[in-house]
A and B are shown apart, each in its own frame.
Chain A
Amino acid sequence: MKVYMLKRLLSLIPVLFVVSIVVFLIIHLTPGDPASVMLGEEATKQQIEELRQKLGLNLPLYQQYFHWIGGVFQGNLGFSFFMKESVTKAIFDHLGPTISLSILAEILAIGIGVPMGILAARRRGSVADQSFMGLSLLGISIPSFLLSLFLMLLFAVSLKWLPVAGYQPLSNGLWNHLQYLIMPAIALGTMKAALIARMTRSSMLEVLNSTFIKTARSKGVKERHVVYKHALRNAFLPILTVIGQTFAGLIAGSAVIETIFNIPGIGQLIINSVLRRDYSVIQGAVLFVTISYVFINLAIDLLYGVIDPRVRLNRK
């Protein structure tokens, strides 16, 4: 297990190296001079030259990279010229809403997806199975930003049950916090729920057809016990993979959703920085999200061994 963990960690190094280069190059892919693009058309030559100095754009490319990556290793992601604060601070200031939203969406996705998948697998071919699978196909085909517009039309414009957009931190009371997050969480969670439901169904079907389930049934084990204790535990590995991938994807998917619902999270920070051409924030935030994405997936991978002893033994 330890060897496996070490190998897995080492394999991340080249991936993260490529990621860092791509993220670093974003600013240099701009046609023309990034400093003059950032300052707008009215900037004087002197201002542009000052900014070039500050950003280190006059150094050779490889020196700029080492300078930047050296800062990253010390937790310094650069300085935002629009917010007049360090990028690291800006990211941590915007982290709370994104985490709240992601957790709520994931709870919704698992709470709906797993039971739906189990039910569909137990009654394979029934009306329930077919309608669940139809629903999940629809869920996969509706992009989350469209779903959020539809939800907004229904719950905020027509029914007026929920506020259109905005955000209240948890310290202002749980309901205040939640009522702003319900629609974005549903919008983000629906596609994930659909993916989880499909994976749960196919994984459960495979296990339910295996011989040890037949044995358990013929021993007279209660059906509920068979499904939840014997089958689900064995079917859980692929389900966990999907859950991990969706959780990591939530943070990225929230970019559009947060902008629509005006939630001051990382996603909105990135979009606003794109519109303001605040490159150091874009670089820092994309790097941050990608690293968390990679490490969440790593954690899930390592969790397999804890959940399933077969994996633990095979990997020795």
Chain B
Amino acid sequence: MQTNETPEYAIETKDLSIFYGAFKAVSDVNMLLEKQKITAIIGPSGCGKSTLLRAFNRMNDFVPNSHVTGEILMRGQNLYGSNIDPVEVRRSIGMVFQKPNPFPKSIYENIAWGARINGFKGNMDELVEQSLRGSALWEEVKDVLQKSAYELSGGQQQRLCIARTIAIQPSIILMDEPASALDPISTLRIEELMQELKKNYTIIIVTHNMQQAARVSDYTAMMMLDKEGSRSGTVIEFSETKRIFTNPKDKRTEDYVTGRFG
């Protein structure tokens, strides 16, 4: 549609390195992530995919002694700038976790709570309904909104977590292996949902499942440990998903996506 226009970027990393104490977990990541696209981060276990993802909404702040060098820029602002409030960062960059983690509250309250702490003043019933419709959960739960979220199945819980995330309307949604704890049917529903969400949200997803990356993403970042045995991960190739899976530049990417190792 807009192949000839300059793409708009949602977020950008510049020489981003992430440290746990003296240990460099992720080194020198430079990526431009396009708006309203799905970017998948793939790579073998322990190469820093989740660490990189968690850097985007400053979740690594909770790990003692973690720090970053370089920049993550969102509309010109460095998320790690000294005048940046991490709470505000998380309000505009939402996150869905590997294991569904709804709050031990009612289905309704799971969505209303986040909206309320974010200062939502409008019609709460409407917001809850719209969020649940947006995450394709409304039809299943509309009659049991006051029940505990823990009475839902795993797949439903994960869609509830997506619903509570979109209820606060972040500009970017991070997903950390959102379907790895779910059965194939629930996984499919989450993937369909991502396509739906992409119309209005930028999504970054970490996945172990290469078919999933190939199915859902527009861009793919391939991460791998540095050669020299430094144990720090980095993005060795970042490009359109089609290209990564059919014509990768890096031999290691090719080996990985064709299943030769990892």
Asked if A and B are interacting partners, one says no
Interface residues of A (CB under 8 A from B): none
Interface residues of B (CB under 8 A from A): none
